[in-house]
Structures are given as C-alpha cells and as structure tokens.
Structure 1
Amino acid sequence: MATTSRKHTHPLRTLVILGLVIVALFTMIGFSGVWSPKLGLDLRGGTTITLTASNVTGSGTVDPASLELARTIIQQRVDSIGVGESEVTTSGDRQIVVSVPNVQRDELVRMVGQTAQLYFRKVYAAEASTGGATQPSATASAQPTTEPSASPSATPNKRPMPGLPTPVPSPRPTAPSGQTTALADLLKWTPSDRDNSEFAAFQCDQPSPTPDVTDQPLITCDQTKSYKYLLGPVLIRGDQVTRAIAAVPQNSVSWVVELEFNSQGAADFQAVTAHLSGQTSPQNQFGIVLDGTVISAPSVGTEYSAGIAGGKAEISGSFTQKSAQELANVLTYGALPLSFEISSVDNVSAKLGGDQLQAGIIAGLIGLALVLAYSILYYRGLALVVSLSLVVAGALTWALVVLLGTSMGFALNLPGIAGAIVAIGVTADSFIIYFERIRDEVREGRSLRTAIETGWVRSRKTIVVADSVSLLSAVVLFVLAIGAVKGFAFTLGLTTLIDLAVVFFFTKPMMTLLGRTKFFGEGHRFSGFESEHMGASNPPLHNSRRTGAVVAGGEAR
C-alpha cells in the first residue's frame, strides 16, 4: 500500500499545472477579443434552404464535380451580400444546404436560385486598389496557334496600369436591363465624368457603386480584390460560350483555356477582338465577369486587327492546371451546372433563436442543480469536489468552444447545447464510479489514504472505458450525421475528452489533498468519509498524528 501511495506525491503540482493551462486558454481568448461562443443559425436567427439536384443521370446519380462547382458558385453569391458566418455545404449525393444568418427567406431564395450572370465587358480603366494586396507586375504576350485565337494573359491585371483615359462625356445608358443594343454602338460607348469619378473614389473594400446591369457600366474588382476595373456595357453574354476546356497545346508546356462560341457569339467575338486589337492598354482588354466579379481580364494583340474568326479562341498566360480548369469551368458553367429544386426553407427569427438559447441554458442549469443536490445528499462534504470539478470542466469547455469558434468557425447550435447537458451526466458518472470505489475499499478494511489511491487505480479503468464508449459514439455520429446533428456529436466528444482531463488532473489530486486534511481525513461528520455513512461497521476513520499510523476498521497501516 505504501508503494501505491508514493506514486501520487505531487497532487498540488498537478493542480497548479492545470490552473496554468486554464489561465493560458483565457489569455488566448483575451487576445482574440471574443469572449462568447459563436452561435449557430438556430440560435441567432436566419434562413436555411435545402436544394436538391433534379437533373440526375440515367444511373440516378449526380456528378460530384458538378455538385461541388454549384456549391462554390452559390457560396460566392452568398458571400457577396457581406453576411458573415454563412455556410454552403453539400449533403448526400445531390443536395446543397445553404444556411445564412439574419437573411430573410425571399432574399435568400432569389439569390441561390438565380442563374449565374457571366458576361464579357470591355475594360476602360484598371488600377491597383488600396483595399487589397498589390500584385506583382507581369507582361503578357499573344502567341498565335493553329486555330484562330486570342491569347491574352490570364492575369493581365498584374501589369502596371496607366492612368485614366481622357473621358468623353456620355450619358449612362438608361435602357432596361436585358434590352439589347447594336454591338457597334456598344463599342463606341465611352465612360462619363460620373463614371470616372466613381471609379477614382472606389476601393475594393467598399460596395460597388454600380449594379451589374447589362447595358450600363460596371465598377468592380477581381477575385483577390487587388485590382479595380471600370468596365463598359456587356458585349458578349456567357450563354454564347458553348465549350471551354483546359488544355496543353502541341509544342507547348503551358496550360491554356480553349473557347468555342455559338454562331452569334462567334460573330460578336470577331467584331469585339477586331476593335480591341487597335486600342491601347488597358482598353485592349475585355473583362470576363461572373456575378459582378472579374474572373479574368485578357488582352488582344495588335496582330488580330481583323478580329478572331471561326468562333474559337485561346486564352494563355501564367496558368497552372488548376487555375486553367477553374477558368474553363466558370466559362462553361456561367449558369449553375445543375438544375435544383428547393426542397425546404426553414426560417428562424432572432427572437426564436434567443428563446431556444434561454431554454437550453435553463435546462443545463436544472441538470447541474440536480447533480449537485444528489451529491450533497449522498456524498455530503464530497460535494465540494463535485462542484469544483464541474466548475473546472465548465471553464475548459467555455474556453475551448470560444477558441474553436474564432479559429475554426465552430458554431454552438441547439443540439450542441444538448450535448453539453449530456456531458454533465457523463462527468457525474465518473465521480460516482470513483467515490463508490473508495467506499468499497474502506469496507474491505483499508485506511482512507490507501482507499483513495487503490480506489483510483481500480476505478480509472472503468472511467476510461465508459468515456471511450461515449467518445466512440460521438465520432461515429459525427461522421454519419448531417447538418445540426454534427454539433451535438462534436460537443459530446469534446466534453467527454474534457471529462477525462478533469478526472485525471483535478478530481484525483483534489481527493488526495482532501484525504490529508483533518476534517476529511479523520472522517468528521458530514465530510462524506465518516465510517457509518460509507457502510463501515468499525469506528470512524482517523489519522494519528502522534504515531503516524492510520487506523481504519481496526487495521493498522
């Protein structure tokens, strides 16, 4: 027994280390400036839409690449409204779940259900934006291919841009969006003083001052928000592109994007490239715009003064395989690559979310009060260990949930709160297993100090196994579940790990220290260690300070 007790000679050191860990976690929270957990959509209010792909193949499945591409396009649309903490995820093999806080049903349905707008516009001005990182300079050159082609740079916005062109006053078009205007007239369009002044004042960290309307100019930025553009009215629509693929041409080692247009698009493209080839930079560029953002802004060389005929073109530049494929996908799937039906729309008001959060907190407090009441009635003074252990577990849970929210985007939803409430019972189970094991050891005639140590050795295996089962259940549920249920699984798994840490590094050292005190060690009344309360038939436990002997149930140690 003496050997067993000597294995735990520094319980105070363990408690100090655990305290330092908790202090470090809350110090990190202080540096982040966020003291409350990130709340899920069901608690802070918003809208969730489930979209189901309707155009499946003959095998009844959806192409995973098309589903992921659709998810990316929808994510870009949702992000464009400037609402943080939105989520667009795939579910199963044909569903996309869109969750956006503080956005009402009609607005979100319109946004995710519309066809993506892909347009080709002439660039009238382009320069670096102070609202984004400056990109390094690069020079693009045109390389003819066996097919009639334009080979502009995929990233021409990286070259130094000259100042604004001399404006020629011109009224902004007032025709309704979607109304077509003769291409020759559109090519003669020039920006007005108003357009130039708005462009000069605009930075990429600001909302665009112009809407994405086909017959009006557009002031916008590239995807990296490094360069801003003043674009003219739409010259070619995305639906005129019939094919776009990423490829490596013969006798070349660089990736390019090959385009094919329909008959009308081919004619328009020849006229546009003939016009652009005679312009100076940056007005020899055309911006490829998806949902109001410049995806690429290639230029047309002077060798194409007659335009590019045949309805085929090639965009070359500093492409990688990935970037070339991404641009080809955008050009091919300007619209969503799949047709979707809205399967469900769920609204959660901010008030309803607040009511749910309040109800969850009340339920947790009731569960906590019941555990403490049981501990006081049954374990008496040992309820101090229970309460302090729950406080430590609560502090660790709060700190980790807040830090995971700021670093990884973990949001605490209502099922997650349910998982935290369940964890109170898991933690109580660990206490009961350990305390009851100590009582068994005392009934067998061991002293209190010995019972604390041997009871721990024999109970910790049971505690680890029980928590391992809970942890395994949480992992399996997290892998197989979808949507908000993952929050329950994640929180349950996290709190189970915290329970193991608290039992090993707080509850056990605290019991060892209390066993050395007079009130607990000598089995005073209401300590929870009195022999009659623990079922021992012999006189109460006590420590003899004069002899150093410990007597329990008549057995000398």
Structure 2
Amino acid sequence: MATTNTKTRGRWRSLIGLFVVMLVMLGSVFAGTKWSDATWTPKLALDLEGGTQVILQAVTTNNESVSAEDINQAIEIIRQRVDSSGVAEAEITSQGGQNIVVALPGRPSQATLDLVREAAQMQFRPVLYFDSPEAVDIEDPESDADVDVEEPTDEATSPEGEDSAPSDDNSVEESGNAEDESTSDAVETEDASAEEQDGTDTQDAVEQSEPQDASDLAWITDELLEEFYALDCTDPANLTGGGGLKDPENPVIACDMDGEAKYILGPMEIPGSDIASASSGMQLNQQGQPIGGWKVDLKFNKEGGDRFAEVTTRLSSLPDYSTWLSNPTASAPNMFAMVLDNLVISAPSVSNPILDGQAEISGNFTNESANQLASQLNFGALPLTFEVQSEETISATLGSEQLAKGLLAGLIGLLLVVVSMFVLYRFLGTVTVASLAIAAALTLLSLMLLSWLQGYRLSLPGVAGIIVAIGITADSFIVYFERIRDELRDGRNLESAVEVGWDRARRTILASDAVNIIAAVVLYFLAVGGVRGFAFTLGLTTLIDLVVVFFFTYPVMRLLARTKFFGQAHKWSGFHHSSLGLDGPRYVGRGRVAVPAKKSAPVQYNEDGTRMTLAQRKAAERAAANTETASQSARKDGEA
C-alpha cells in the first residue's frame, strides 16, 4: 500500500509542478501589466503591425565616395544601436548603394529614432584609467572598489613589425597599488604624491592642477570618477552607442563595445578623418614569412601622422600594463583608445614612438576580428553623416486580415486534429485536447514574457511555426498512444502497458523532437528576415511539446489507467478490443498479418470486455472443439 501511495504522489507531483510553473508565468505577466509595460498579447512584428520607416542617405563633407563596405559598416552600427535599445524584428537594409532603409515595428520612441539618424564618428583618445565593466558602489563601506581589470588584447607596434612589450599575465589581475590602497578614494597627481611623502593626507583631498597634456591624470575629477564607477557596461542599454559627438576638448567615460571593460579617456588627440587607410593581414617576420598571427595595418595622412608621432612618443614613456597595475594612481597606462560611435573598439598599448604615421596593431586577433577592426577604422576615416531623405509611418505589409486568416487556418488544423483523435481513440482523445490546451497556454505565456522582457515580436512566419507545432505535438501523443495499444494487444493490462509503452515511446519522441530542434537552430542562425521568426517559434514549441508530454500527458495516463472506465477497457475508452483491431485482420510485423478468428474459435475476451483467464480460454477451446465435432458428424449423416 505504501508503494502504491508513493507512485500516486509521484504522478501528482509532476502535474502540480507544471501548474505551479504556469501560475508563476501568469503572475509575472500580470505583475508586468500592472507595474511595467507588459501586455496580455505578444507584440507584433513589422509585417503584422506596421511601424516607422526612415530612409537615410550617407554623405561625406569632403565629397569622397561612399563604398558598399562603408554602407554595410553603417548598417552594422545602426543595427547595434537598435538591438541594444530593445527593439526587435527591425529591418535594416541598403538601397541603391547610397541609402539605408530602417524599418522599426510598432511605435518606436523618439530616443530610438534619434539613434537611427545620428552619424557615427571616430576619435583617438588616450586611456587614463580602465576597470572591469560592473558598476561599483563606492559609498558602500563593504564594497570592494579594487575590482579586477582586464588586460588589453591588442598592441601597437612599429612599422618594422617589432612587437611592443606584451603583458606578463593574460589573466585578470587585482587592481590597486603596492600598498593595496583603494583606487576609489582618489586619483593622485604627481604633486599630490609628493605631498604624501611630506606627511600630507591625500586620502581626504586631491590637489587638482591644470592638466599638462591629454594623458595627465588631473583630468580625472571626483565627479568623473564617481560617474565612472556608477557606469555598468554589462547593461545592454549602455552599449547602444550614439548620443552625439562627445566634446573633443574634455575627458569622457566609455564602454568597450563588447561590454568587457570601461574606460576613462582623455581629450581627443586625433580625429578619425586623419586615417588614410586600414587593412588586415597575417603577421610577417623580417624575412616576410607569416608567423601565424593576424594584424591590422593603420596609416594616417600627413597631419594625422604628425599628431600620431607626438602621441606615441608621449605614450611610450608611460608604464606598460604590468607596471601600471602595481600603481594605477601614479600615471596613465601607455594605451590609446579607438572610439567609434562613443564605444571603444580597441585599446592597444604603445611601447615605441611611431614617427612615420604607419602603425601595426597586433594581438589576439583572428582573421574575422582583424577584418572587422580594419573595416571599422576605414569607416571612421570618412567624415560621414546621414541625411534623412524621408520618414513615414508604414502600414502592415500583411496586416490584421492576414493574421486573422493565419489564425483561422491554425484553428481549422487544430479542429481536424481533435476530431481525428476522437475518431481514432474515442474518449482517450480528451487527453490530446487537454495536452494541446496546456501546450497552447505555455506557448502564449512564453511569447508574452519574451515580448515584455526581451522585446520579442511575433511575425507571420512565427505564426506559421506555431501552426506547424500543432502537428508536432499531436504526433507525440499518437506515438505514445499506439505504443500503449501495442502492449495491450500483447496481453498486458493497462497500467503495465502505460509504463512499458512510455519507456519505448519516450525514445522515439526524444529523437523526433531532437531533429526538429536541430533544424530550428540551424535555420535560425543561417537564415535571415522572417525565416528566423519561423525557426524561433518552431524551436520554442518543440521544447514545450517535450515539457507537456513528460510532465502532463504521461502522468495523466498513469492516473487514468487506475480508473474503472479506462482500466477495464470500456467500449468508448479507446482500449476496447474492438478498437485495438482484435476483431479483424491486423498487421503483426515482419510482413505477417493475423487472420481473424473463426466464429467457432474460442474468444479471447469475456462478454464484459475483460480478458479471459487461462482456464476460461481452455474451456472455450473444448466447447469449440465439441461444436466442431458435432458439426462434422451431422454433415456425414446428411451425406449418408
């Protein structure tokens, strides 16, 4: 009895857990509608809701031509801005080689539209200080302001290919000076350090002086330092870029474009327009043979080369990374940052003055990352601006009518599936209906949460993926039900058939859904546009199918097997011998078909539908044999 109670509790535990998860999801959406911007329906994409379309023309102030590569780089910058701002399903394409068409679904905010219109500019600024990307509460006495700093991955080298001094350690190290003083207390100038030697307490106040050059730590004020530590570069909202061209005469705070570090940068020293060209290639030794790494060659024009010579001469005299780590409050490191769209795309170090305006940037590059940096530098070299050619509200390309037709098609398909389930499995079809209802509720709740938390928008291809999922989910039920019926045909009772059938059906269901998930993942990453919406919903609903089959359908079948209606194989249960094909010819595998028993043959079931015992079957066989003998004797007497 204890074992039976334990099994019953196990059946209910899965169901209760599933319903608790659904209630939590429902409660989250409800809370989002009350205290946030969540809605009770998924947000719709551009093809279903319409939106705003902005056509931008790329122009240069010096009348230089804009290449297709420059347009593609501009599209990538705009795409990063839009994606980081939380707008999903945006369409950004080129038109005619000179224009960029940006279509945003729904009603985008004015801030998002401003991000689209702004031009991206490049600046070269010296690095004054950098740290890990997380925000630090410097007012909290328990917080540790000495957070880890990350080693720069790129190094600037001379045109002859002589590498600058590499960092001693590739791992993340502790920030702080030799005495483990907190860098959040203050950034000291050389004059302040001298006063500390005289006994002056520089922890309470920092003597500020006029900066002598762009690498002078006097640029760092208490307000700037407080803003630096409060900045969280792990937040996607701080990685959008844009925001207009920063004042070149003042220091700025910027995030790494990948959100892996944050920087305090000095005033701009070289504008991006001073870049003559940039290209990527393999690193070569002095004999011109490749040595296995990748590099980016950077060349400045005459004016930029003169400025770069001054900057690298000063930076090469500053401490390298490993030395700077031991006392980061004494001076700036020997690094300069390339800032594109107000994000740091690279921050290499300089160990030697570069006097001819030709630099080689080397480090942990791959072919792809080196090409990307070269493209970004070439794009930043253009004094490029965007002129708004048109901005208009566009209607849905498919609209509510097509959405209604798609939903109608889904309802018709669902109805046909339900009808076929009842025809094939009688009242067992109620399990199918309930499972499909649970799957539909989980899908809707998931889409609502994704729309609220991730900015997901449902497109018409996504609706198609959901409709296809109806067949995938129903197929799982059919596989399981047929396995149960096969076990019943082999003479098992229903409880045993449910368990053995599940062991066999589970492998088939997992294999089938695994194929669908792999197809959805490959399609999502290789396809573009609306096809990705189809792949996403296909993969999501396939995962939900597994959840429903494992945590709803299987436990429900275990409970129904203990009921009288299903356990005793009622005529309308779906498990009656007439439903199992035992009253007629049936395929039994390996090309064999079981011939229906003759009327005189002993039956295998009693009149109430229960299976005969061995004694009952033998008695029936003897009665059938006697009947056959009497029949043969009567035929012989008639012939005589």
TM bucket (normalised to shorter chain) is: 0.5 to 0.7
Deviations 1:151-192 (A, max 9, x none): 58799999868925464569xxxxxxxxxxxxxxx9689999
Classify 1:423/1:76 alpha carbon distance in 2 versus 1 (closer, same or farther; 3 Å).
Answer: closer
Residues 154/355 of structure 1: CA separation in 2 closer, same or farther (3 Å cut): farther
Give the Cα–Cα distance (whole angstroms) in 2 for the partners of residues 355 and 141 of structure 1. 58
Counterpart in the other structure of 1:134: 148
The residue that corresponds to 2:223 in the other structure is 198
Counterpart amino acid of residue 287 in structure 1: A
CA distance in 2, matches of 1:134, 1:371: 58
Partner in structure 2 of residue 484 of structure 1? 530
Q: CA deviation at 1:117?
A: 1.3
Pick which of 385-394 and 104-113 moved more: 104-113
Residues 372 and 24 of structure 1: is their aligned pair in 2 closer, same or farther, counting only changes over 3 Å? closer
Alpha-carbon spacing, 1:105–1:227, altered in 2? closer, same or farther (3 Å): closer
Alignment correspondent of 1:270: 309
Q: More deviation in 12-21 or 67-76?
A: 12-21
Deviation at 1:408, TM superposition (A): 11
Mapped contact 2:272–2:380 kept (Cα < 8 A):
no
Distance in 2 separating the partners of 1:399 and 1:258: 51
Query: What one-letter code is carried by the residue in structure 2 that aligns with 1:219?
Result: V
Could you tell me how far 1:292 is from its partner in structure 2? 0.9
Amino acid at match of 2:342: G
RMSD (Å) for aligned C-alpha atoms: 7.2
Please state how far the C-alpha of 1:330 moved relative to its aligned partner: 3.2
* Pair 286,13 (structure 1): closer, same or farther in 2 beyond 3 Å: same
Mapped to 2, the partners of 1:435 and 1:189 lie a distance apart of 74
Do the aligned partners of residues 402 and 104 (structure 1) sit closer, same or farther apart at CA in structure 2, a change above 3 Å counting? closer
Match in the other structure for 2:246: 213
CA distance in 1 between counterparts of 2:574 and 2:333 reads: 86
Maintained 8 Å contact 1:38/1:412: no
Query: Which whole-Å CA distance do the structure 1 matches of 2:412 and 2:215 have between them?
Result: 70
Aligned length: 500
- Which residue number corresponds to residue 386 of structure 1? 432
Task: From 113, 120, 126, give the equivalent of 1:116.
Answer: 120
How far off is 1:275 after superposition? Answer: 6.0
Q: Which letter does structure 2 place at the counterpart of 1:268?
A: R
Look up the equivalent residue of 2:245 and give its one-letter code.
D
Instruction: Tell me how far apart the structure 2 counterparts of residues 299 and 438 of structure 1 sit (CA, whole Å).
Output: 69
Helix, strand or coil at the partner of 2:267: strand
Say yes or no: does 1:261 pair with 2:300. Answer: yes
CA deviation string 1:302-359 (max 9, x = no partner): x75xxx433223446xx12336655444323326999999999997999x99999999
Q: Secondary structure at the match of 1:519?
A: helix
Q: Does 1:290 align with 2:356?
A: no
The CA deviation string for residues 118-162 of structure 1, in whole angstroms up to 9 with x for no partner, is: 112345x42536627622578999976648x99587999998689
Structure-to-structure mapping, 1:412-431, within 5 angstroms: 413-424=459-470, 427=473
> How far apart are the structure 2 equivalents of 1:344 and 1:228?
37
The match for 2:45 is 42
| Change in CA separation of 1:345 and 1:18 when aligned onto 2, cut-off 3 Å | farther
**Letter in structure 1 aligned against 2:359:** A
Q: Please state how far the C-alpha of 1:220 moved relative to its aligned partner.
A: 1.7
Q: Aligned partners of 1:492, 1:22: CA distance in 2, in Å? A: 26
Return closer, same or farther for 1:88/1:296 CA change in 2, 3 Å cut-off.
farther
Rounded to whole Å, the distance in 2 between the matches of 1:143 and 1:493 is 47
User: Partner of 1:4 in structure 2?
Assistant: none
5 Å-filtered alignment, 1:506-521, equals: 517-520=563-566
Secondary structure of residue in 1 paired with 2:470: helix
Q: Is the 8 A contact 2:152 2:347 kept in 1?
A: no
Provide closer, same or farther for how the CA distance between residues 227 and 518 of structure 1 changes in structure 2, counting only shifts above 3 A: closer
The answer as to whether partners of 1:47 and 1:345 remain within 8 angstroms in 2 is no
* Contact preservation (8 Å) 1:415, 1:487: yes
TM-score (norm 2): 0.52
Q: In structure 2, what residue type is equivalent to 1:104?
A: P
TM-aligned CA deviation for residue 202 of structure 1: 0.9
Equivalent position SS for 2:298: strand
Corresponding position of 2:261: 226
**How far apart, CA to CA, are the structure 2 residues paired with 1:267 and 1:408?**
47
Question: Contact 1:50 / 1:345 at 8 angstroms: preserved in 2?
Answer: yes
Letter in 2 for 1:120: F
1:418 and 1:267, CA in 2 relative to 1: closer, same or farther beyond 3 A?
same
Paired residues of 2:52 and 2:392 also in contact (CA < 8 A): yes
Letter in 2 for 1:265: G
8 Å CA contact 1:118, 1:335 repeated in 2: yes
Matched, 1:78 2:82: yes
Task: Please state how far the C-alpha of 1:296 moved relative to its aligned partner.
Answer: 3.7
In 2 relative to 1, CA 192–508 (structure 1 residues): closer, same or farther, beyond 3 Å?
closer
- Is residue 2:108 matched to residue 1:104? yes
The AA in structure 1 aligned to 2:341 is D
Distance 1:382 1:139 in 2: 63
Q: Is the 8 A contact 1:376 1:382 kept in 2?
A: yes
Give the aligned partner of residue 311 of structure 1. Answer: 357
Could you tell me how far apart the structure 2 residues matched to 1:257 and 1:294 are? 16
Query: Residue 219 of structure 1: CA displacement?
Result: 1.5
Q: Tell me the residue number matched to 2:377.
A: 331
- Aligned residue type for 2:364: T
Q: For residues 248-277 of structure 1, what are the alpha-carbon distances to aligned partners after superposition, in whole Å with 9 as ceiling and x for unaligned?
A: 353597866432112232233334445666
How far the C-alpha of 1:482 sits from its partner, in A, is 3.6
Aligned partner of 2:591 in structure 1 is none
| CA apart distance, 1:199 | 1.1
- 2:278 maps to what in 1? 243
After superposition, the Cα gap between the structure-2 partners of 1:134 and 1:330, relative to the gap in structure 1 and judged at 3 Å, is farther
Unaligned runs of at least 5 residues, structure 1: 1-9, 55-61, 171-185
Deviations 1:493-544 (A, max 9, x none): 6646866897799768967975775434667686577899999899996245
- Partner Cα separation in structure 2 for residue 335 and residue 529 of structure 1: 76
- Whether the 8 Å CA contact 2:54–2:390 is kept in 1: the answer is yes
Mark the CA change 1:51 to 1:13 in structure 2 (over 3 Å): closer, same or farther. Answer: farther
- Asked if 2 retains the 8 angstrom alpha-carbon contact of 1:38 and 1:406, the reply is no
Identity rate, percent: 36
Q: Deviations over 1:206-263 (max 9, x none)?
A: 7699953354424123414534314214533345332344553535978664321122
Relative to structure 1, the CA distance from residue 424 to residue 118 in structure 2 (aligned partners, 3 Å threshold; closer, same or farther) is same
Measured in 1, the distance between the counterparts of 2:317 and 2:490 equals 99
* Partners of 1:142 and 1:483 in 2: CA distance: 39
Match of 2:608 among 500, 518, 542: 542
Does 156-165 or 243-252 show the bigger shift? 156-165
